[in-house]
Amino acid sequence: MELSFMHKLGVVCLILLVLNSAVCCFADSYRKSRASYYNTPDGYGNPWGACGYGEYGRTVNGGNVAAVSGDIWKGGSGCGACYQIRCKIAQYCDEDGTRVVVTDYGEGDRTEFIMSEHAFSNLARDSAASAKLMKYGVVDIEYKRVSCKYSNRNVLVKIHEKSNNPYYFAILLLNVGGKCDVAAVQLWQEDYKEWSPLRRVYGTVFDYENPPSGKITLRFQMDCGERLVWVHPKKPIPSDWNAGEAYDTGLQF
């Protein structure tokens, strides 16, 4: 029996719905890998991490941070992403594990995550289990991308310490929530009536030589997996911007 056009259309829609659901489920599922940890004097993050966060990268998320590599690093655009990680040693590992923020690049022995000592210890169910877990050095894990949450904190544009008004302008973004990556940054050239791209120097640091005088208007391209979105801050960078200062965008992602 030949199906009518409407029946055929219904079948196609059903197939697409099933495929879309499968992709969504896969994206939200845990993946297997291995994790280790690195030492710092206080057990928190490395302030000299490859993302360029500085002191922010040491203490963000309570020091629960990690260095990553491969597909998670994404050439630096993976900086600031959040992951839920749980280890697989039943007698020692907490069922939910811990959430980390990517702040650095690091490669290990088949490890995709090299966690701060503080974050690694939080994989354990209690302090006694933590002591046992630390002795392993490297453990099998499961991980998945999750939304970053910065309650009631706006995204900040921090002027990099090497910036020099008005000759050299370099920035990084802080408190980027959600599950999107910062793919690109552009500034508005009023004289030419066009947007000009900033260069990704490394990690999350973008720069522009000889920026326009006056207030600087930026926009950010966010890679949300299935789509790219341009986001416009509610506030421009003031004309008297200074290296090391952080400016409120008025946005929360």
- Residue carrying the six token digits 């930026």: 218
Report the pLDDT value the prediction gives residue 109, as an integer from 0 to 100. 85
Which residues fall within 8 angstroms of residue 248, CB to CB, at 6 or more apart? 154, 156, 235
Strand partners, 186: 197, 219
Instruction: Supply the mean pLDDT for the chain.
Output: 91
| Domain finish residue from 145, 171, 203 | 145
Report the pLDDT value the prediction gives residue 9, as an integer from 0 to 100. 47
Least confident residue range of 16-25, 155-164, 225-234: 16-25
pLDDT category of residue 22 using cuts at 50, 70 and 90: very low
What are the residue ranges of helices labelled H in the chain? 5-27, 55-59, 70-73, 117-121, 127-136
Same domain, 166 and 208: yes
Domain that holds residue 192: 156-248
Report yes or no on 132 lying in a domain. Answer: yes
pLDDT digits 0-9 by tens, 96-112 = 999 999 999 999 888 99
Report the pLDDT value the prediction gives residue 28, as an integer from 0 to 100. 73
- Residue carrying the six token digits 């066009």: 194
Mean pLDDT calculated for residue range 133-156:
96
Asked if 126 and 95 count as a contact pair (C-beta separation under 8 A), the reply is no
Q: Which CATH number do you get for residue 139?
A: 2.40.40.10
Same domain, 138 and 166: no
Q: Is the dihedral of CA 118, 123, 127, 130 positive or negative?
A: negative
Same domain, 141 and 207: no
Domain count along the chain: 2
pLDDT category of residue 20 using cuts at 50, 70 and 90: very low
Same domain, 119 and 165: no
Percent of the chain with pLDDT over 90: 85
Examine the pLDDT at 27 and tell me if it is beyond 60. no
Q: Which CATH number do you get for residue 241?
A: 2.60.40.760
Q: d(Cα 129, Cα 191) in Å, to the nearest integer? A: 62
Mean pLDDT calculated for residue range 225-235:
94
Mean pLDDT calculated for residue range 84-106:
97
Q: What is the DSSP string of 103-135?
A: EEE---SS-SEEEEHHHHHTTBSSHHHHHHHHH
Report the pLDDT value the prediction gives residue 130, as an integer from 0 to 100. 97
Report the pLDDT value the prediction gives residue 6, as an integer from 0 to 100. 52
Secondary structure E strands in the chain: 31-38, 65-68, 82-87, 98-105, 113-116, 139-146, 156-159, 168-174, 181-189, 194-197, 199-202, 205-209, 218-223, 228-231, 246-248
Examine the pLDDT at 207 and tell me if it is beyond 90. yes
